Amino acid sequence: MTGGLGALGLVVAGHLVDRGARHVTLLGRSARPESDAAVGALRAAGAEVRVVAADVTDRGQLAAAVAAAGDGHRLRGWCMRRGC
């Protein structure tokens, strides 16, 4: 999830874990120590949470992040833009 360490991202991640997601990758350009507690809560709820540092505007970084997220798991998601 891009922006997964941000305010909205952590709310959506919590929603996904509540709905049964067990493998979640949260993506941001930098570490956000203020998100540690929320990430810990997701893990305590039973999810394997990976935090990946990547800039989605950098094709190489994004490709590496997608490859890492799919490691051993089927990558799933959705796009909120009409037509995706």
Ligand X SMILES: NC(=O)c1ccc[n+]([C@@H]2O[C@H](COP(=O)([O-])OP(=O)(O)OC[C@H]3O[C@@H](n4cnc5c(N)ncnc54)[C@H](OP(=O)(O)O)[C@@H]3O)[C@@H](O)[C@H]2O)c1
Determine, following the binding rule CB under 6 A, whether residue 7 of this chain makes contact with ligand X.
Answer: yes
Determine, following the binding rule CB under 6 A, whether residue 14 of this chain makes contact with ligand X.
Answer: no
Point out which residues pair with 2 in neighbouring strands: 27
Pick the closest to residue 35 from 57, 13, 18, 19 (CA basis). Answer: 13
Tokens of 71: 């490691």
Q: Which residue is nearest to ligand X (CB)?
A: 6
Q: How far is CA 56 from the centre of its chain?
A: 12
Determine, following the binding rule CB under 6 A, whether residue 59 of this chain makes contact with ligand X.
Answer: no
Determine, following the binding rule CB under 6 A, whether residue 66 of this chain makes contact with ligand X.
Answer: no
Residues in touch with ligand X (CB under 6 A)? 2-3, 5-9, 27-30, 55-57
